[in-house]
Amino acid sequence: MTSPNFPDSARAVVIGGGIVGCSVAYHLTKLGWRDVVLLEQGRLTCGTTWHAAGLVGQLRAHQNMTRLVQYSAELYQKLEAETGQATGWKQCGSILVARTPERVTLFRRIASAARAQGVACEIVSIEEAARKYPVMRTDDLTGALWLPEDAKVNPADVTQALAKGARMGGAKIFEQTRVTAIHQKNGAATGVATTQGDIRAEVVINCAGQWAKQLGRMAGVTVPLHSAEHMYIVTGRIDGVHPDLPVLRDPDGYIYVKEEVGGLLMGGFEPVAKPWAMNGIPENFEFGMLPDDWDQFQILMENALVRLPALETAEIKTFMNGPESFTPDNNFIMGEAPELKNFFVAAGFNSIGIASGGGAGRALAEWIVQGEPTLDLWPVDIRRFARFHDNDGFLKERVSEVLGLHYMMPWPNRELMSARPLRRSPLYDRLDAQNALFGSKMGWERPNFFAPTRADARIDYSWERQNWFPYAAAEHKATREAVTVTDLTSFSKFLVQGHDAHAVLQRLCANDIAAPVGQTVYTGLLNARGTYESDLTVARLAADRFLLVTGTAQATRDADWIGRHLGEANATLADVTSAYAVIAVMGPRARDLLARLTKAPLDNDAFPFGTIREIGVGYATVLASRRTYVGELGWELYVPTEYAGGVYDALVEAGRDLGVRNAGYYAIESLRLEKGYRAWGRELTPDYNPYEAGLSFAVKLDKGDFIGRDALLALKGKPPARRLLSFVALSPDTPIAHGGELILRDGEPVGEVTSAAYGHTVGGIVALGYAATGGARVNDGWLAARFEIDIAGERVPVRASLKAPYDPAGARLKG
């Protein structure tokens, strides 16, 4: 029956009354949007929220994800005072235990990252861990970590408190109201159809948890998530278990444990998960539970019995099996859908929706109200996915792997293995036959390195030099000393063309792209804050036609950003990624090699650095772009896909006596870091501006207006609060850095490493990272201070510089 107060319009309609929807509604009202309607098909919390365990663990892999949880913690503590609704908040701390030496190394790395991120965290002795958690067996442990600020809450109560706070701020909440369709016009959401009638809305927000995928599909929006069963048990009272007991995590045993009414709640993340609802979520799955599955739970139970001997005799009062939604990369999904304007998503919380719900709700509300996120949310940005991620077969197989990632060792360069190989370049089979070990990015199979034998084409994960170290070293060396070919086909490529193409791109790009035909320009795409939305290369192919080449991961994001700014302009954007394979020919012998296959002049006068020309290579006609990401003489060949095999074969054949060999992405990483080249998502994100990133050369304030110019004008001439620096270890034999490590200047924390690798030419770790300047000008005197990188507790002395450690003058690439 339709409620008499049911509105026919609202400024914002939030779909879903779980913790996330209630948090979004609450924060929209806090930001002054009072006309907010929240619709829940059942009753508040009836989806996944009601049966969550309620752990609030703060430290996340990415600094901004940590910030979201830190904010959740702040909010949950004060919600009761604000709303009168208790939340069950208890700051009990959490203890993590290790069963292996590798896990202890991880703990040391976590402790270092925690310092960089401002989270309280300390390594504690096993004796101390035993004191904190007396019912735990400790004789088999190798180490422990203590996070005093971690907490637990009652998820249903927090949600009710958020809902109450939202109502107090003006929001209206309607339960038993299902959204049945999304209305849209001209590519924008305009409202919803519901079981109580239609509501027109400026903004529609899909917070439908595991239902978010099907709601997305109703609207033509990709929300790639899949349900998986997630289980825990609750015991009766156990001697020695009391409400102040910290949360216990034993990740090598896949389990977490929390005190619950004098007993223990024990659940976990088994290595092979059990996907659920392959044919869709059943109707009326309200406060739904799934059947007990002791077979699936067995691995958790066995491990829990090792850690908590008291479980042997404890009464099992509850077996809770409820579905939760998981995403292809174990990060949740937020933001405005690239397919539909004014349609926002916050879903797929991978079992951290309670911890992240407060912060995610605020971040999305800010995004809605301000039109863009206020901090870098790239790890959870909906635009990191593409249409192919919505494939049911892919999702089912991927979530089976993803759930277990929570407690699996987060090895550096860890690759997911499920649902692969997916996107294959035309060179894939050739490279595979040469023992390429492929990594996966945006679904693309990309060669990481080439091994001498098939058996060696594997990654033996470790914190130190991994098995592929010598292979990547040889590829690195060949690029510096001879010539290598690399399959860069996964680069995202766009054609922007039409009468207004130039004008639109001038407004989007911070650099001046008014270049002659045949010229390429490296540029940032900035937002109004003057920070990075992307960085890419613009090649002018004709007066009104531009080829944009950008990172593999940025395809959806960049298309969305550029597409939004095309507006009414007479210009079109086409994704031509699949139309071209890309083969990089890099190294001092690159010219010699190409010259054997083309009649086109390749000397510096005819083909200078930064230009792009159509040339013949073997039997194919390709676009050759003289640029580099490795700091050597070289060309990137944009080859229409069907010719790629022939071009590759010709290069390999013609280059034998020049020492040509394949190179993979691990070599590219060490090569680019020696050259100080920045990478999107690490050094360049919406948190950093070009002055901080040291890229002012690619900003032309005097070219006319562009997005971000006003913000940069305000910053120009002032010393940036932080500065991107290159670091090189002073000794060749230090532990290996992988990114995320703490940077110290004269013993004081100043920042975090963004990227790191072993630099085979400079002979030691080479890294990039932002250091806080305290307002000082970064000059030789400032850089002469004592810099160190904390690698798993070991302070490694490094040299800091603004300039690239390798060939700072760029002589090699102009050779």
19 near ligand FAD, rule: CB under 6 A = yes
CB 325 to ligand FAD: min, Å: 7
24 φ/ψ angles, rounded to the nearest 5 degrees:
-65, -45
Cα–Cα nearest to 68, from 409, 383, 376, 528: 376
743 near ligand FAD, rule: CB under 6 A = no
Tell me the window of 201-209, 482-490, 681-689, 693-701 that interacts with ligand FAD (CB under 6 A): 201-209
Neighbours of 656 (CB within 10 A): 10
What are the b/e assignments for 168-194, b being 16+ CB within 10 Å?
Answer: ebebbbbeebbbeebbbeeeebbbbeb
Question: Are the C-beta atoms of residues 494 and 576 closer than 8 Å to each other?
Answer: yes
Separation in Å, CA 17 to CA 64, 75, 127, 323, 405: 25, 18, 44, 16, 28
- Using alpha carbons only, give the angle 57, 60, 62 rounded to the nearest 5 degrees: 160
CB 204 to ligand FAD: min, Å: 11
CB 800 to ligand FAD: min, Å: 38
Residues in contact with 21: Cβ distance below 8 Å, sequence separation at least 6, in sequence order? 14, 15, 38, 40, 205, 207, 208, 346
797 near ligand FAD, rule: CB under 6 A = no
Q: From the centroid of its chain, how far is CA 86? A: 34
CB 119 to ligand FAD: min, Å: 16
Using the rule CB under 6 A, which residue among 18, 335, 361, 708 binds ligand FAD? Answer: 18
269 near ligand FAD, rule: CB under 6 A = no
Return the number of the residue (18 or 263) whose C-beta is nearest ligand FAD. 18
163 near ligand FAD, rule: CB under 6 A = no
Question: Are the C-beta atoms of residues 198 and 191 closer than 8 Å to each other?
Answer: yes
Question: Are the C-beta atoms of residues 496 and 505 closer than 8 Å to each other?
Answer: yes
Tell me the window of 43-51, 432-440, 613-621, 653-661 that interacts with ligand FAD (CB under 6 A): 43-51
By CB under 6 A, the count of residues binding ligand FAD is 41
CB 406 to ligand FAD: min, Å: 10
Q: Rounded distance, CA 815 to CA 810, Å?
A: 9
Residues in contact with 431: Cβ distance below 8 Å, sequence separation at least 6, in sequence order? 438, 447, 450, 487, 662
Tell me the window of 40-48, 419-427, 738-746, 780-788 that interacts with ligand FAD (CB under 6 A): 40-48
209 near ligand FAD, rule: CB under 6 A = yes
Q: Mask 170-189, x = binds ligand FAD (CB under 6 A)?
A: --------xx----------
CB 635 to ligand FAD: min, Å: 48
Cα–Cα nearest to 654, from 607, 590, 600, 583: 590
CB 162 to ligand FAD: min, Å: 10
Question: Are the C-beta atoms of residues 152 and 90 closer than 8 Å to each other?
Answer: yes
Q: Mask 52-71, x = binds ligand FAD (CB under 6 A)?
A: xxxx----------------
Return the number of the residue (326 or 471) whose C-beta is nearest ligand FAD. 326
CB 218 to ligand FAD: min, Å: 8
Tell me the window of 41-49, 566-574, 640-648, 717-725 that interacts with ligand FAD (CB under 6 A): 41-49
42 near ligand FAD, rule: CB under 6 A = yes
The dihedral region occupied by 88, where left means phi > 0, alpha psi between -120 and 50, and beta the remainder, is: left
Map tokens 């293995």 to a residue.
417
Which helix (H) or strand (E) segment holds residue 508: the answer is helix 501-508
Cα–Cα nearest to 200, from 22, 367, 35: 35
Tell me the window of 33-41, 537-545, 668-676, 717-725 that interacts with ligand FAD (CB under 6 A): 33-41
Tell me the window of 316-324, 466-474, 652-660, 735-743 that interacts with ligand FAD (CB under 6 A): 316-324
38 near ligand FAD, rule: CB under 6 A = no
Return the number of the residue (194 or 520) whose C-beta is nearest ligand FAD. 194
- Using alpha carbons only, give the angle 274, 277, 282 rounded to the nearest 5 degrees: 145
Question: Are the C-beta atoms of residues 10 and 188 closer than 8 Å to each other?
Answer: no
20 near ligand FAD, rule: CB under 6 A = yes
CB 212 to ligand FAD: min, Å: 7
Starting at the edge strand found earlier in the chain, the sheet holding 143-147 runs: 122-124, 143-147, 94-98, 247-250, 255-260, 263-268, 226-235, 316-326
Using the rule CB under 6 A, which residue among 135, 215, 386, 712 binds ligand FAD? Answer: 215
Distance from the first to the final alpha carbon of the chain: 77
213 near ligand FAD, rule: CB under 6 A = no
Neighbours of 452 (CB within 10 A): 11
Q: Mask 229-268, x = binds ligand FAD (CB under 6 A)?
A: -x-x----------------------------------x-
- Give the chain's radius of gyration (CA, Å): 27
Return the number of the residue (254 or 727) whose C-beta is nearest ligand FAD. 254
Question: Are the C-beta atoms of residues 358 and 18 closer than 8 Å to each other?
Answer: no
740 near ligand FAD, rule: CB under 6 A = no
Give the footprint of ligand FAD on residues 321-360 (CB under 6 A).
Answer: 322, 324, 347, 349, 351-355
Tell me the window of 203-211, 482-490, 515-523, 551-559 that interacts with ligand FAD (CB under 6 A): 203-211
CB 30 to ligand FAD: min, Å: 18
Q: Which amino acid is at 419?
A: A
Question: Are the C-beta atoms of residues 477 and 760 closer than 8 Å to each other?
Answer: yes
Using the rule CB under 6 A, which residue among 16, 224, 708, 769 binds ligand FAD? Answer: 16
Using the rule CB under 6 A, which residue among 10, 26, 33, 47 binds ligand FAD? Answer: 47
DSSP three-state, residue 149: coil
523 near ligand FAD, rule: CB under 6 A = no
CB 296 to ligand FAD: min, Å: 13
Tell me the window of 39-47, 123-131, 678-686, 759-767 that interacts with ligand FAD (CB under 6 A): 39-47
DSSP 34: -
Using the rule CB under 6 A, which residue among 14, 203, 208, 334 binds ligand FAD? Answer: 208
537 φ/ψ angles, rounded to the nearest 5 degrees:
-115, 130
Tell me the window of 19-27, 110-118, 166-174, 557-565 that interacts with ligand FAD (CB under 6 A): 19-27
User: Given the rule CB under 6 A, which residues bind ligand FAD?
Assistant: 15-21, 39-42, 46-49, 51-55, 178-179, 207-211, 215, 230, 232, 267, 320, 322, 324, 347, 349, 351-355
